[in-house]
Structure 1
Amino acid sequence: MGALLLAAATLVASVVVVTARPDPAAAHGAAMIPGARTFLCWKDGLSPTGEIRPQNPACAAAVAQSGSNSLYNWFSVLRSDANGRTTGFIPDGQLCSGGATGFRGYDLARNDWPLTHLTAGRTMEFRYSNWAHHPGTFYFYVTKNTWSPTRALAWSDLEEQPFLTVTNPPQRGAVGTNDGHYYFTGTLPSNKSGRHIIYSRWVRSDSQENFFGCSDVTFDGGNGEVTGIGSGGSNPPPAGNGGCSATFKLTNSWSGGFQGEVEIRNTGTAPLNGWAASWTLSSGQQISQIWNATHTTSGSSVTARNVSYNGTVGVNGSTSFGFLASGTSSSPTITCAAS
């Protein structure tokens, strides 16, 4: 009898050990571009030995609360019973974890999470891990301009409608690897500047299982650069608020074209050392000339950036640039971001 009890105890102990280990086969996907908190914290903590040792303070705090399994399984922020439900199912303050107990550390309200730098209104390629392939629809939301990183994300912090919805996109790379992913293009919201969260939901169509994630971004004229991971640790704290506004004025118009001027004003508490203004051209419009700025276009999206002599703008100060365009004049909504 003693031998039998010993064998049973050994079996139970072995089961506990097995279930406590990371189980990648049970996980499925997360946003890679722009990177979700779990994905970028996993990248932040990668070491030559294969251990996860986060260097970013927010990532370290998340692991201290949720354990390192949350990063070995960075692709498994999910609820198996979600079935497309949102408000009232995932509690406010738990959106980034999807209400999953093993990822609650990623709900922490902090301003030092790894950060992806983007340009408002620009078209970009989104990527989402295909660790396990399933049919379904991806939804991407962005926070309202009233949101603050000092409080945990609530449903009321998100714009009501997703800015991007994609069903069954194509894939690249092998399923079940760290590099394999779904990919699709989408246009970022054009009325955003500064810090925001892009919130993603993947709703499977073949089961009730849904996936959730928070991607910390800043609309500052960036091209997808990521800061706050690796040996650099956290993002350097800003020296005051470097906010800015952009105001359009129609200065001339004629049949088939018009001239516009944009005033850039420093609305923050620190000097601007560079700025970027973004807007969307109306149908038929095309910029033919610009002065006191350089510009790039992607489809109908335009981004104008300072030149060497007007990038520095003091607090409450302003500068301006002008342009000529073909097409019928309009009054675009222009967003400004420090760059």
Structure 2
Amino acid sequence: MKVMRSVALGVAAAFALIITSFVVPHAASAHGVTMFPGSRTFLCWQDGLRENGAIQPYNPACAAAVAQSGTTPLYNWFAVLRSDAAGRTVGYIPDGQLCSGGTGGPYDFSAYNAVRNDWPKTHLTSGANIQIRHSNWAHHPGTFDLYITKNGWNPNGPLGWGDLEKFAEVTDPPQSGAPGGLGYYYWNTTLPAGKSGDHILYIHWKRSDSNENFFSCSDVVFDGGNGEVTGVGPGGSSPGPTPTPTDEETPPPADGDCTATFRATDNGWAGHFQGEVTVTNTGDATINGWTVSWTYSGGQGFDGAPWNATLTGQPPNVVAKNASYNGQLAPNASTTFGFNATGSVPSPVPTLTCTSS
């Protein structure tokens, strides 16, 4: 198999994956939690990961979880699992421990059961059709059961099985990207109607070839959103999706002091391509940081982390921020960042939005 490489691989991602290779449990052969809408462990990992590979959360709930149980669980954000679950729910995972999958897994995720209102949140619209993305850190067949908290549930109390109602399931969905990185299973689902305010989306993945199961808590708020994430990174928010253009080139934004353009640089490996984004300061003063966002509509993803940028929002709603060394741009100056991607080259190319600080 041809593997695309870049000498400019991001330091944080490379360091984090090296660490992960040492701390992944060898007894468990499959892993995965929900990446969109992001689970607590996945979004806290994103929130805290720094360019040198350290995890130092900005989000207060994520910081409290790290203070309680350390960073090892976040380096293994994909491993909220029980090897002997065999599809069991009530009577197996105790109420109040649903987000950690109980206490019998390889890592201590109990801190992620904490009842707080400041976990990272994904903003959604009740009744909308969205694409669920669930990590395929290791690939195995199985069924995903999707639950949502009932209307009238108490968000200020521990989450119990009685608070949840099942609304969908899917068996053996397709994958984007290879196992062992940021690849994922994906499928479309219609969110329940009649929801408003804060809720928890809960996904229980049941392998069909073993008794191993996986558990994911994703904090969502039904407020008319379209996948925006808040509570991640120093600014605490990520922009939502932008419209898709109808031509073959990225149109510039109507105003603002930076622009971003997208191009595919290599599509020689079937099901993968390499992309590059150029950011230009179009204003009259130096900018000290930039954020680029876009929306994929064809199931594209990332095969590893980008270089020369840091991801704070995952597909389909991509958000990339400058690295520590390329955020400052003089007027008319440009910088680029790149990435290895899964899926086909998007056509038409997505609209990119650039904001500066």
User: TM class, shorter-chain normalised?
Assistant: 0.5 to 0.7
How far apart are residue 42 of structure 1 and its match? Answer: 0.4
Aligned to 1:97: 100
Q: Work out whether residues 132 and 186 of structure 2, in 8 Å CA contact, stay in contact via their aligned partners in 1.
A: yes
Rounded to whole Å, the distance in 2 between the matches of 1:232 and 1:149 is 25
1:123 aligns with 2:126: no
The 8 Å contact of residues 33 and 77 in structure 2, kept in 1 or not, is answered as yes
Task: Indicate yes or no: 2:176 matched with 1:175.
Answer: no
- Structure-2-length-normalised TM-score: 0.58
Match of 2:112 in 1: 106
Assess, with a 3 A threshold, how the Cα gap between structure 1 residues 21 and 214 changes in structure 2: closer, same or farther: same
SS of match in other structure, 2:132: strand
* CA distance in 1: counterparts of 2:146 and 2:224, whole angstroms: 20
Pairing 1:57–2:60 present: yes
Which residue does 2:146 correspond to in 1?
140
The corresponding residue for 1:227 is 230
Q: Quote the offset at 1:187 in angstroms.
A: 0.1
Tell me which residue corresponds to 2:167.
Answer: 163
Match of 2:24? Answer: 23
Root mean square deviation, CA, Å: 2.1
Question: Which structure's residues are more often helix, by fraction?
Answer: 1
CA contact (8 A) 1:56 1:234 kept: no
Query: What amino acid sits opposite 2:111 in the alignment?
Result: G
- One-letter code of the match for 1:23? V
Counterparts in 2 of 1:233 and 1:99: CA distance versus 1, 3 Å: same
The one-letter code sitting in structure 2 at the alignment partner of 1:150 is N
Relative distance call for 1:65 and 1:21 in structure 2 (3 A) is: farther
Q: Which amino acid aligns with 2:66?
A: V
1:277-334, CA deviations, whole angstroms, 9 ceiling, x for partnerless residues?
xxxxxxxxxxxxxxxxxxxxxxxxxxxxxxxxxxxxxxxxxxxxxxxxxxxxxxxxxx
Deviations 1:93-152 (A, max 9, x none): 000000036100000000000000000000110000000001000011000112222112
Give the equivalent residue in structure 1 for 2:211: 208
Change (3 A) 1:234 1:125: closer
- 1:271-310 residue pairs with structure 2 within 5 A? none
8 Å Cα contact 1:77/1:100 also seen in 2: no
With over 3 angstroms needed to count, the CA separation of the structure-2 counterparts of 1:221 and 1:24, relative to structure 1, is farther
Kindly provide the amino acid, as one letter, of the partner of residue 137 in structure 2: W
In the alignment, residue 72 of structure 1 is paired with which amino acid? Y
Tell me, yes or no, if structure 1 residue 71 matches structure 2 residue 81.
Answer: no
Any stretches of 5+ residues in structure 2 without a counterpart?
1-18, 239-357
* Superposed structure 1 runs of 4+ greater than 6 Å apart: none
**Residues 69-106 of structure 1, C-alpha deviation per residue, up to 9 Å, x if partnerless?**
11000000000010000000000000000003610000
Change (3 A) 1:19 1:41: closer
Separation in structure 2 between the aligned mates of residue 19 and residue 130 of structure 1, nearest angstrom: 15
Query: Deviation at 1:184?
Result: 0.3
Question: Do the aligned residues in 2 keep the contact of 1:199 with 1:214 (CA within 8 Å)?
Answer: yes
What's the counterpart of residue 15 of structure 2?
none
Cα drift, residue 19 of structure 1: 12
* Displacement after TM superposition at 1:233 (Å): 4.3
Tell me, yes or no, if structure 1 residue 151 matches structure 2 residue 157. Answer: yes
User: TM-score scaled to structure 1, two decimals?
Assistant: 0.61
* Identity across the alignment (%): 65
Distance in 2, matches of 1:131 and 1:21, equals 15
* Deviation of the 1:199 alpha carbon: 0.6
Higher-Rg structure is 1
The one-letter code of the counterpart of 2:172 is: N
Among 194, 198, 201, which residue is 2:201 paired with?
A: 198
Residue in 2 that maps onto 1:301: none
Relative to structure 1, is the Cα distance of residues 20 and 50 closer, same or farther in structure 2, using a 3 angstrom cutoff?
closer
Aligned CA distance change for structure 1 residues 174 and 183 (closer, same or farther; 3 Å): same
In structure 1, what is the equivalent of residue 350 of structure 2?
Answer: none
Q: Is the 8 A contact 1:35 1:116 kept in 2?
A: yes
CA distance in 2, matches of 1:180, 1:170: 11
- Asked if 2 retains the 8 angstrom alpha-carbon contact of 1:24 and 1:72, the reply is no
Partner of 1:298: none
Q: How does 1:234-249 map to 2 (within 5 A)?
A: none
Instruction: Please say if residues 78 and 100 of structure 1, whose CA atoms lie closer than 8 Å, have aligned partners that are also in contact.
Output: no
